[in-house]
Structure 1
Amino acid sequence: MEHKFTHPKKGLNIVIVGCGKVGLSLVDKLSKENHDITIIDRDAGKVQDITNLFDVNGIVGNGANFSTLQEAGIYDTDILIAVTNSDELNLLCCIVAKRVTDCAVIARVRTPEYSQDAAYLKSKLGLAMIINPDLESALEISRILCLPSAVGVTPFARGLAEMIRFRIPEGNRLDDRRLRELGQELAGAVLICAVERGGEVYIPDGSFRLQAGDVVSFIAPTRGSKQFLRRIGLETHQVRDALIIGGSKTGYYLAKQLLRVGVNVELIESDRQHCEELSTQLPKAVILNGDGTDADLLREAGIEHVGAVVPLTGIDEENIMLTLHTQAVSRAKVVTKINRIMFPEAIDRLNLGSVVYPKALVTDAIVAYVRSRTASKGSSNIETLLHLFDNRVEAIEFIASEGSPVVGRPLRELPTRDHLLVACISHKGSILIPGGDDAIQPGDSVIIVTTHTGLSDLSDILA
């Protein structure tokens, strides 16, 4: 069960330019966290639809136009977030806003050429964040293909720890076992921190009994994850070869990442000219020109024997159908990219396995930044935010600050909220799965897993 956390801190004034899928998702999340939001879009219909759904202000216009930003209250704005479909417009919105105010600015930038210069652009233009949903999706998919028994893999503590999500297979040694009985399997600093079963989500204690079919989330030092999975009999070797269906930006980023880690890549793209461009950009990949939904072409491409298949057609329905087809003809690991999250229950019932939502990756990163600003007036208080199980569980990485009421006291003495775990502490580069006698120190990265939503400061874990 999700527990809404009502935060007493004053919200921020936020301007969101762009009312597409990401803009709508940001409005949905941030409007629930006590922020004053103004949206800007050239499409009057989109502005009307969102202002009808949420208690936000709406302006029809160009977000890079100074008079439009004035109307949106730019001089009183804390954060401007530009997430239109145009990289150039997003960057221009941020430049104009920074010229007239000291607000923080965030831009969505997807073009590979711009992404290569992300650090330069961020520094020279004064951006708080540049976020690329296609690159983030590719990195998420790559992490899963490097650990194919996982449903999802998320790094924490600058890559020193990770949260792994996997489904317990029939006959696995975890089936019908209580957590307190798993001393040997959990040895090596592993903490099972969330379980989904039959639509319900649990933050388990030692008496919780696991079952086949449960989707389990555990956190561990990065090198300890594979040891645990091997110990319980799951595959830990990365795939040897992958078939990517669709030469989108995500397909390009994914192919580049997989080739870098030694995976053989075959990519199908329907546009001949784009195939030629990809052949130049990805000389070590095999690029095929054809319809990725053609069963005969997929068979010729080796779908029945390949280690992984990733449908990236740009159309959710095609990606889902390709996943179901692959499951019927192959034992390949499949990762499905879905842009719209309209029917999550139906998607869950399809049992697609690993599903990546680019919109969620972008939204989580931006909401983490906004919460940091809310809590500590600009300091980097939240490093990572991850929503799990249809947003019913949050995993949040905080940086502990000097003077925090949770610092320096053994965890067993902290009156923490119910349905909340202090899952992991990173102290001076060492990863600790904490016990009751351990204490949080200033500068530590602390990962909290909870069904409470909206925590923006480490002290919020206290009851």
Structure 2
Amino acid sequence: MKIVIVGAGKIGSAIVKNASMENHEVIVIDDNPEVIERIVNQFDVLGICGNGVSYEMQKASGTATADLFIAVTTSDEANMLACLIAKKLGAKNTIARVRDYEYTKQIELMTDALGITRTINPEHEASKEIMRIINFPEAIKVDSFAHGSADLTELYIQEDSELVGQSLMNITSKLGVPILVCAVQRGNEVIIPTGKFVFEAKDKIHVISSQEASRILVNKLGLSKSKLKDIMIIGAGKITTYLADSLIKNNFNVKIIEIDPKKAKELAELLPKATVIVGDGSDQNLLREEGMKDSDAVICLTGIDEENIIISLYANKLFVKKIITKVNRASFAGLLESIEMGSVISPQDLAANQIISYIRGSSNTRGSNILTLYKLVDNQVEVIEFLASDSSKVLNVPLKDLELKKNILIGGIIRNHKVIIPSGMSFIEKGDSVIVVSKEALNDLDEILM
């Protein structure tokens, strides 16, 4: 597949990394020569220094024969215009990064008029993921499938947990809750467990279930926490705008600390029900005065990873119930996970996952569409939601009779908005959403078979 990417910042670099790993022909355009040099040296791609919005530049880069054109610069307007030009030149499909809060209200009108196949909004996706965590504070992370019908929940096993020393088979039987533990992270190792797998303290488990079953699970395991109410957000960027709006609509008390007076004023006018404080979010005296210790959750969303980490460490010292930290560098995310502190959000990874799922679905000419894709534990495991097509070889065959590849697990079947945790006698029907856990990249549902 020939892919042209305009913009090699954090989001663009993440997309380049994933697309090049999957052996696509990738051409990257950016106006910064140092960025292009870094990208070309790091990945097997063609780099062109120039203006990706320019008609002549796109023509020279081969956009006319591109299967997919992706514009992810920092400017929404430039991205949309670049996609319009690419479409006029002959690119088959186009994706634009569009982040502005106002644009999201008219996105369908704009995409239709400009011929944009799809838009991505990493900040909006990040705000939705944070919102899921706020609503389910027991979890480190919560992802969803089939428009929220099923959850992929990450939980941490404490040393005093009743799971410690128990096999998966015993625990599943004892709890009596329809769940499936699809992956376990133990240190840097990822395990797709069988029934004989034995849990240890400090394991991180990834559970597929309905939302209702997730709630029952945490209650039975004694992990249930009191609901969060008072939320403190540090930083007033785009994620904060989306998130605070959603929090307020769901009756949370929201306090935002922002160092830039202009940003703070704009946000206060946009969200009059939020309390907006002008100040340095890394100032411990200010944080104490503004009641960080009494907050139910602290969410660190400044534009600087290091600052977010420092503030999170301070919140942890004050024993804040829930801490959520935005980071973009994978090494920092690993650092926070290693010290077992709160939840980590990476907008660039969310965007890259969305686009890679689109690329895989577009590359597949056989049938099963990829609806959702999540990468777990530093990309070691993928959890993919496929739409079962009428041509699939897996239809109407009991799962016990399917010869699956090694390290493949069917984690769930969603039929008519109901979650089925599969047994050997379960089977897949046309139109089902099928959740597959795999240690290898899959483009089609039939690729689970040997």
Which TM bucket (shorter chain)?
over 0.9
Match of residue 360 from structure 2: 371
CA distance, structure 1, for counterparts of residue 272 and residue 148 of structure 2: 29
Aligned-residue CA RMSD in angstroms? 1.5
- Alpha carbons of structure 1 residues 87 and 217: separation in structure 2 relative to 1, 3 Å: same
Aligned to 1:148: 137
Structure 1 residue 217: deviation in Å?
0.4
Q: Residue 238 of structure 1: SS of its match in structure 2?
A: coil
Preserved contact between residue 40 and residue 62 of structure 1 (Cα < 8 Å): yes
Whole-Å Cα distance in 1 between the matches of residues 332 and 274 of structure 2? 35
Cα displacement string for residues 392-432 of structure 1 (whole angstroms, at most 9, x for unaligned residues): 01000000001111111111111111111100001122210
In the TM superposition, 1:36-55 aligns within 5 A as 36-55=25-44
Pair 380,258 (structure 1): closer, same or farther in 2 beyond 3 Å: farther
Contact 1:304-1:332 within 8 A present in 2 as well: no
For the 8 Å contact 2:327–2:346, the answer to whether it is kept is yes
**2:445 maps to 1:458:** yes
Deviations 1:145-192 (A, max 9, x none): 111110000010121001000101121111111011114554231111
The partner residue of 2:60 within 71, 89, 95 is 71
Q: Structure 1: how far apart are the matches of 2:406 and 2:177?
A: 26
Q: Which residue of 2 aligns with 1:402?
A: 390
Greater RCO (Cα-Cα under 8 Å, separation 6 or more): 1
Alignment of 1:207 with 2:196, yes or no, is yes
Q: Which residue of 2 aligns with 1:444?
A: 432
Q: Deviations over 1:202-221 (max 9, x none)?
A: 00011001112110100101
Secondary structure of 1:304 counterpart: helix
Q: Shift in Å at residue 344 of structure 1?
A: 4.8
- Contact 2:232 2:255 survives alignment (8 Å): yes
**Helix, strand or coil at the partner of 2:437:** strand
Aligned twin of 2:380: 392
Corresponding residue pairs, total = 450
Cα separation, partners in 2 of 1:121 and 1:380, compared to 1, 3 Å = farther
Displacement after TM superposition at 1:102 (Å):
4.7
- Please name the residue that 1:241 is paired with: 230
**Cα distance in structure 1, aligned partners of 2:287 and 2:276:** 13
- Percentage of matched positions with identical amino acids: 40
1:8 is aligned to none
Which residue is 1:412 aligned to? 400
- Higher alpha-carbon deviation: 212-221 or 126-135: 126-135
Cα deviation per residue 1:431-463 (whole Å; 9 max; x = unaligned)? 1011111111111100001212x2110011112
Q: Secondary structure at the match of 1:182?
A: helix
Matches within 5 A, 1:49-448: 49-235=38-224, 237-376=226-365, 381-448=369-436
CA deviation string 1:322-344 (max 9, x = no partner) = 11111111333000000222455
Residues 1:37 and 1:432: Cα distance change in structure 2 (over 3 Å): same
Helix, strand or coil at the partner of 1:117: helix
SS at match of 1:112: coil
Q: 1:179 to 1:18 in 2, by over 3 A?
A: same
Q: In structure 2, how many angstroms separate the alpha carbons of the residues matched to 1:38 and 1:437?
A: 47
Take 1:320 and 1:139, find their aligned partners in 2: how far apart are those partners?
21
Matched with 2:13 is 24
Asked if the contact 2:79–2:97 (Cα under 8 Å) also holds between the matched residues in 1, the reply is: yes
Q: Partners in 2 of 1:22 and 1:421 — Cα distance?
A: 30
Alpha-carbon separation, structure 1, partners of 2:168 and 2:92: 48
**Superposed displacement of residue 288, structure 1:** 1.1
Deviation per CA, 1:355-374: give whole Å up to 9, x if none: 00111000000000000001
Structure 1 contact 185–228 (Cα < 8 Å) conserved: no
1:358 partner amino acid: P
Counterpart of 1:280 in 2: which secondary structure? helix
Q: 1: distance between equivalents of 2:129 and 2:293?
A: 24
Task: Find the residue that maps to 2:233 and give its secondary structure.
Answer: strand
Q: CA deviation at 1:49?
A: 1.6
> So what's the TM-score if we normalise by structure 1?
0.94
Note the residue ranges of structure 1 that are not aligned, 5 or more in a row.
1-11
Gaps (5+ residues) in structure 2? none
Give the counterpart letter for 1:304 in structure 2.
Answer: K
Query: 1:257: Cα distance to partner?
Result: 1.2
